[in-house]
A = this chain, B = another copy of it.
């Protein structure tokens, strides 16, 4: 069990890859994205379709078409992608799976888990989609291994 679903992992990797290529001024086809982030192509297509419908990623059909991010989208927090794909349970849910988390009627893990949740929230709110463009271009980071 990983923290994020496969769907969400693919989404985040794809988003970072497309962001980097957008920064360079290109659009990217689904095939190229899938190859570079090591994900099943048709499954990734579905994920990006969803993000596209929600306006989180830009796309154009036809020759020279593909996915890209405009300036506004590059500045969105990764949290938006996660929420679109996995919902907001990771930001608000109970660590022991109770139907809701509450301060006044907490589960045993509540105090400790809150810290974990806050750190995740901080991480996803403070990393923008375009944050790692330079690092990715310079080969400082990897998206497929």
Tell me the A residues contacting B by CB distance below 8 Å: 1-6, 8-10, 12-13, 16, 86-87, 89-90, 93, 95-100, 102, 105-110, 112-113, 115-116, 119-120, 123, 126-127, 131-132, 135-136, 141-145
Contact = CB atoms under 8 A, between A and B. Distances in A.
A133 to B, nearest CB: 10
Count this chain's copies in the assembly.
Answer: 2
Given A2-B90, A2-B93, A89-B2, A105 B9 contact: no
Nearest to A8: B1
B95 A3 contact: yes
Contacts of A5: 1
Q: By DSSP majority rule, is chain A's interface helix, strand, loop, or mixed?
A: loop
A20 to B, nearest CB: 10
Contacts of A116: 3, 116, 119-120, 123
B106 A142 contact: yes
Contacts of A113: 123
B1 A4 contact: yes
Most chain B CB within 10 A, of A109, A131, A136, is at: A109
B10 A100 contact: no
